[in-house]
Amino acid sequence: MNNSSNYFELAKIALEGENYKEAYEKFTKVIEEDFNNIDAWIGKGMSATYSSEVNSIRFKEAKTCLDKAIELGTEKINYDEICEKLLVASKLFIKKVNSSVATTLMHKENKPMDTFQLYAVKKVGDIADRYKVFNEHWQYYEDTIEFMNYISKINPSLSVFKNKLSIIDFIYSETEGHFHKDILSKLKAYRNKTIDAIRQLDESYTTTPTPKKPDGCFIATVVYGTYDHNSVLVLRSFRDQKLKGTKLGEFIINFYYSLSPGVSLVLKNKHKINNLIRTLLLDKIVKLSKKYL
């Protein structure tokens, strides 16, 4: 087995083990020795996609690598498998953006209140901060949608378009109401264009309504007073990034949501109890969650 083969096997292991930096380096070495290795170009593009971070987006590099693989031999590429993984990576990046929003807002919220600053005035400032931070992060959301547009171009299948729509709807459910009108119009346009593409492939497809924020009244929402509270954003980010996808995490989520409706009804309008729960329990959980995001 030559060096190129060794590097390729190590790169695949690193990619499967979610060590994207090492995978990227190993796939690069394979390409240096075998420039026409289609799988290495795909692996390098995949590694770049998964390793994208807020303020370090690598979608453009990923597209360059994938375009090279397609140029070398489109008939040898499993588009369904590759695009499915790229869409998973896209949603993972959206979760990182949501986490960045939550962390930024937490930093702003934790700033001490001026001596003569009224509580109500601070709350108005918190709402303004929330709008500002979400709009400052819009470019990351849009870059992800544009990358998904690229994915749907190289594999314009019904499955790809439906998965793309579900991710756009995920963005909606996490951010709607926080964007300026012009940005919200762009998001709606992306959504409508995706729905049109689905209908061209499936005439029986029924349009789903624009996602709204959950109406359910859950414990954290009741205690903090609003679904949009910065601490609730942190808890949602921790749920999506750290708990979902693991057996223990799914158990915790299911247990929490089985208790929440009943408990939240008991806590509704119990301001003194809610303040106690917030101080003694939830604020500590939020602080710990933030540490691991």
**Rounded mean pLDDT, 2-6:** 76
What is the number of helices (H) and of strands (E) in the chain? 14, 0
- pLDDT bin (cut points 50, 70, 90) of residue 234 is confident
pLDDT given at position 76: 84
Round to whole Å and give the CA distance between 49 and 87. Answer: 10
Q: For position 83, what pLDDT does the model report?
A: 96
Cα 109 from Cα 184, distance rounded (Å): 25
52-96 pLDDT, tens digit per residue, is 999 899 999 999 999 999 999 888 899 999 999 999 999 999 999
Q: Which residue has the higher pLDDT, 208 or 172?
A: 172
Average pLDDT across the chain, whole number: 84
Give the mean pLDDT of 153-157.
97
Residue 235 scores a pLDDT above 70: yes
| C-alpha 57: how far from chain center | 13
Delimit the CATH 1.25.40.10 region(s) of the chain: 3-76
Q: Quote the percentage of the chain above a pLDDT of 70.
A: 86
Statement: residue 253 has pLDDT above 90: no
pLDDT band at 51 (very low <50, low <70, confident <90, very high): very high
Whether pLDDT at 123 is above 50: no
Is pLDDT of 116 > 60?
no
**Higher pLDDT among residues 243 and 215, named by residue:** 243
Q: Rounded to an integer, what distance in angstroms lies between the CA atom of residue 86 and that of residue 49?
A: 7
CB 154 within 8 A of CB 78: no
pLDDT for residue 115 is more than 70: no
Q: What is the per-residue pLDDT across 185-222, written as a single tens digit (0 to 9) for each?
A: 999 999 999 999 999 999 999 877 766 555 445 788 88
- Give the number of residues written for the chain: 293
Residues 191/168, Cβ–Cβ less than 8 Å: yes
pLDDT band at 177 (very low <50, low <70, confident <90, very high): low
On whether the 3-76 domain is CATH 2.40.110.20, my answer is: no
Question: In this model, does residue 30 exceed pLDDT 70?
Answer: yes
Read off the pLDDT band of 124 (50, 70, 90): very low
How far apart are the C-alpha atoms of 108 and 102, rounded to whole Å? 10
Query: For residue 256, what is the DSSP state?
Result: H
